Amino acid sequence: QVQLVESGGGLVQAGGSLRLSCVASGRSFNVYAMGWFRQAPGKEREFVAAIAWNGGRTRYRDSVKGRFSISRDNAKNTAYLQMNDLKPEDTAVYSCACASRPGLVLDLENGGYYDYWGQGTQVTVSS
């Protein structure tokens, strides 16, 4: 069983920054990628950013490029999402996900590629 625990969410004014963290723990698992997804009230879950564990290739949704940055600490099985210049439309519950099998770069944007999910952390951006 793999557990993912997110932290770092909160309330921030537009233009502000937050840094989300996601720690993966459990027995006998391999991390091939970790991703961040978000879901706003009344909307479907959408891909935000992801990073491959080997090589560190990253993918971002267009609306966050240049503002968000994903990184990882392999030794700690931890992924980070640095979010700058936040906008009210970034308000959502942010969940991290972990893939325990290899995949293609395009798979990083697909929620079905991930095997484990965290509970989510609320990010609220006020105007």
pLDDT tops 80 at residue 28: no
Identify the pLDDT of residue 125: 98
Instruction: Count CA atoms closer than 13 A to 117's CA, side-chain side.
Output: 13
pLDDT tops 90 at residue 92: yes
Identify the pLDDT of residue 4: 96
pLDDT tops 90 at residue 122: yes
Identify the pLDDT of residue 1: 83
Identify the pLDDT of residue 105: 87
From CA 101, how far away is CA 107, in angstroms rounded?
11
